[in-house]
Structure 1
Amino acid sequence: MSMFQIFHISGSAVSAQSQRLNTVASNLANVDTVAGPDGTAYKARQVVFQTALMGARDGGPADGAGAGVKVVDVVEDQTPGRKVFDPKHPKADEQGYVTYSNVNSVEEMVNMISASRSYQNNIEVMNTAKSLLQKTLQLGQ
């Protein structure tokens, strides 16, 4: 694997984790939203990753090819939203329950920390590779 391939692999991970962070931000922004006029509340979304072969040539695997990551889908969590009894709420149903989103703020915070650390680690990998390439160039001086 060439040193330059590291940038492609880490770059794919940074891009994927960036999308994951954006999804988590959307989920956290909708923690306390209630069901709209159609009766459905916001549903938490999760990013689905898949391994992506990096450095393949002519449709086949290349010598020294590495595996990166790509986002293949963003799926909605189908668990029902939490219901709170509040008959005075303007969005309450006939039984007096208000349906909130199914977003779990604790899980989303853990997801955010994990995505943030993965993002930071991949940036550090790219910075280390850059530093090694610069030192290699300096050997010839």
Structure 2
Amino acid sequence: MDLFNTLTISADGMKAQGTRLRVIAENLANADSTASEPGGEPYQRKLVNFKNVLNRQIGAETVEVDRVSLDPSEFNQRYNPGHPAANEDGYVLMPNVNTLIELTDMREAQRSYEANLRVQQGSRKMLEQTINLLR
């Protein structure tokens, strides 16, 4: 495989993981965002779905974000009768964001991003050494 193809593949991986990190950050930032009126829905967790795409230019499959979808899991309920979004029983719907899961996903995305970055750095170093040999 050509070193330039390696740069393209790892750059696509970094782009996909960067999107995933942004969505995770949004989920964490809204982990306590409730509705402002009774019966309203709180923030709904977002998920990033990837897909493999054939890059015809380099003749290899790369990864890209397929879509950002909403998590269909149920909202949590918290008893807080004084909250403006509380129902008649005093319960407030809370986002379906679990901060522990988000932090774990963030760590995984960060490591994947770093692995692609190391591939980029290694490929660049090999290209530089090849150029130095040709001088």
Bucket of the pairwise TM-score, normalised by the shorter protein: over 0.9
Partner of 1:21: 21
1:86 and 2:87 aligned: no
Residues 37-75 of structure 1: CA deviation (Å, up to 9, x unaligned): 361111100100001112x15xxxx7xx22210101001
Q: Are 2:40 and 2:85, in contact at CA under 8 Å, matched by a contact in 1?
A: no
Partner of 1:52: 53
Quote how far apart the aligned CAs of 1:36 are: 3.5
Listed as ranges, the matches of 1:34-73 within 5 Å are 34-37=34-37, 39-54=40-55, 56=56, 65-73=59-67
Q: Are 2:45 and 2:96, in contact at CA under 8 Å, matched by a contact in 1?
A: yes
Cα RMSD (Å):
1.3
SS in 2 for 1:47: strand
Structure-1 separation of matches of 2:30 and 2:6: 36
Number of equivalent positions: 134
Aligned residue type for 1:98: V
Quote how far apart the aligned CAs of 1:35 are: 2.2
Structure-2 separation of matches of 1:86 and 1:127: 52
TM-score (norm 2): 0.93
Q: 5+ residue gaps in structure 2?
A: none
Q: 5+ residue gaps in structure 1?
A: none
Structure-2 separation of matches of 1:104 and 1:17: 20
Q: Are 2:36 and 2:84, in contact at CA under 8 Å, matched by a contact in 1?
A: no
TM-score (norm 1): 0.90
Query: Residue 109 of structure 1 is aligned with which of 100, 103, 110?
Result: 103
Following TM superposition, the consecutive aligned residue runs of length 4 or more in structure 1 with deviations greater than 3 angstroms are none
Structure-2 separation of matches of 1:88 and 1:140: 74
Aligned residue type for 1:132: M
Partner of 1:126: 120
SS in 1 for 2:67: strand
Q: Are 1:9 and 1:68, in contact at CA under 8 Å, matched by a contact in 2?
A: yes
Partner of 2:9: 9
Q: Percent identity?
A: 34
